[in-house]
Amino acid sequence: MLPPDSLGHALQQAARLVAAVLDGANLTDRFESMLLADPGLPESTRGAVRDLAWSTLRQYGRGDTILRPLLHTSPPAFVRGLLLVALHRLEQRPEQAHTIVDQTVQAAAAEMPGMKGMVNAVLRNALRQKSAWLEWVAADEAARHGHPRWWLEKVRRAHPDAWEAALAAGNAHPPMALRINRRRATMDEVLGRLQQAGLSARRLDNDAVLLERPVAVARLPGHAEGLLSVQDAGAQWAARLLDARDGERVLDACAAPGGKSAHMLERADIDLLSVELDAGRAERIRRNLERLGLSARILVADCRELSAWWDGQPFDRILADVPCSASGVARRHPDIKWLRREEDIGHFAAQQAGILDALWQTLAPGGTMLYVTCSVFDEENRLQIERFLSRHGDAELFPIDNRPDFQLLPNAEHDGFYFALLRKLP
């Protein structure tokens, strides 16, 4: 048994997560299950495990390219995951090479004693050939950019002038942004409390507050009292663009976990209905609104099945934050890059079209619908809207800052999002 606060234990746990993902599991689900199974795990170890697993998977394409020439046979899934985690750590902390190899070998001995020698040999061979790593990576475009080749090609076609920067951002650690609950606090008040807590932050153009460094939510002054929420700065454009006004009847379809619902309620006194397909995720909406001192009607339903939830009264505004590939937030969920398949994008596009067509029936003439994805793929964004407009003669695209739509690519301040504002003709 490895000491719970040791690097070896963190390597072991991270390897289990990486192996599970490469076998098709959801990274977040497995991490949460791990925490439930070991509630006494020190907070520092939890953070180390998370950082090791997430970082390794962000750079999996690179790590796999380095590992392949070092293997003569295919190892068990855990060992493969352990070697990938160790190689990533060796790249990040070369000055700790001796400790990393030693702790990795101990992790192998604790999990699969018979593989201890093999792990030791591979890592020592890797260090001997470290000068060749860059050459191996440079020869493989997918490895250089840390994304599957089909993903890389889609981003390159959709964003020919910015694709490399977008992919590089998708491999970086994500930023942490806050949203101020204007019903309970002012911008100056929150910035002052953050400064007193030793947290450096700055205000962005859309009034999001960007922290210089991510921190545990428990360290955020005012979070428990509902003064602020954690929400990506890009996501905070949604409520501003939809711009719901006092007294309006508003629908938030696909509403979990409730950040955009809350933001709309913080901005205006609206009659809000939040619809969510999954009952567990709908409960998260309720808890989030309760912490913030807000309220809305929350229904568990498939928003495409109008007969199951719609009372026939049209909405003035609709937020259609549809399920998508999540290609714009893959750095937060790096398993997405390696679990998604190219054919999945067509399935998402078909689902999105069905949601748009259903929700359009519930929008009042003269009303507006904001279509939102956290995707950077054209099939889910620009092309989706073009197809929608061709099907609906009573729809027009309302410009956003003199542009037909609004595509955010991931960068150091925000994740990737797409917004299109649709108006129903009177």
Task: Give a yes or no: residue 159 inside a domain.
Answer: no
Amino acid at position 376, single letter: V
Domain that holds residue 211: 177-230
- Mark whether 209 and 305 lie in a shared domain: no
- Mark whether 283 and 347 lie in a shared domain: yes
Q: Which of 200, 230, 260 is the last residue of a domain?
A: 230
Under 8 Å between Cβ of 145 and 61? yes
Q: What is the pLDDT of residues 288-300, one digit of tens each?
A: 999 999 999 999 9
- Mark whether 243 and 207 lie in a shared domain: no
Phi–psi pair at 182, nearest 5 degrees = -65, -15
Task: Give a yes or no: residue 258 inside a domain.
Answer: yes
Determine the 3-state secondary structure of 104 from DSSP. helix
Which pLDDT score is estimated for 309? 97
Task: Give a yes or no: residue 160 inside a domain.
Answer: no
Which pLDDT score is estimated for 40? 85
Under 8 Å between Cβ of 395 and 422? yes
Q: What is the pLDDT of residues 36-80, one digit of tens each?
A: 998 888 888 899 999 999 999 999 999 999 999 999 899 999 999
Provide the domain count of the chain: 3
Task: Give a yes or no: residue 165 inside a domain.
Answer: no
Which pLDDT score is estimated for 1? 82
Which pLDDT score is estimated for 41? 84
Phi/psi zone of residue 254: left (φ > 0), alpha (ψ -120 to 50 degrees), beta?
A: left
- Mark whether 256 and 377 lie in a shared domain: yes
Which pLDDT score is estimated for 105? 97
Bond into 257 cis (ω within 30): yes
- Mark whether 294 and 415 lie in a shared domain: yes
Which pLDDT score is estimated for 135? 95
DSSP 224-252: TTTSEEE--TTTTHHHHHH---TT-EEEE
- Mark whether 12 and 108 lie in a shared domain: yes
User: In whole angstroms, how far apart are CA 235 and each of 207, 260, 324, 328?
Assistant: 12, 8, 14, 11
- Mark whether 380 and 303 lie in a shared domain: yes
From the candidates 254, 303, 324, 374, give the one annotated as an active-site residue.
Answer: 374
Determine the 3-state secondary structure of 299 from DSSP. strand
CA-nearest of 237, 370, 384 to 315 is: 370
- Mark whether 281 and 208 lie in a shared domain: no
Phi–psi pair at 6, nearest 5 degrees = -90, 160
CA-nearest of 213, 208, 205, 216 to 190 is: 208
| CATH number reported for the structural domain that contains residue 48 in this entry | 1.10.940.10
Under 8 Å between Cβ of 186 and 206? no
pLDDT < 70 regions, the chain: none
- Mark whether 256 and 319 lie in a shared domain: yes
Which pLDDT score is estimated for 336? 95
Which pLDDT score is estimated for 168? 96
Which pLDDT score is estimated for 335? 95
Under 8 Å between Cβ of 308 and 289? no
Task: Give a yes or no: residue 168 inside a domain.
Answer: no
Q: Report how far residue 418's alpha carbon sits from residue 399's, in angstroms, rounded to the nearest whole number.
A: 13
| CATH number reported for the structural domain that contains residue 313 in this entry | 3.40.50.150
The model's pTM is: 0.93
Determine the 3-state secondary structure of 363 from DSSP. strand
The question of whether 374 is a catalytic residue gets the answer: yes
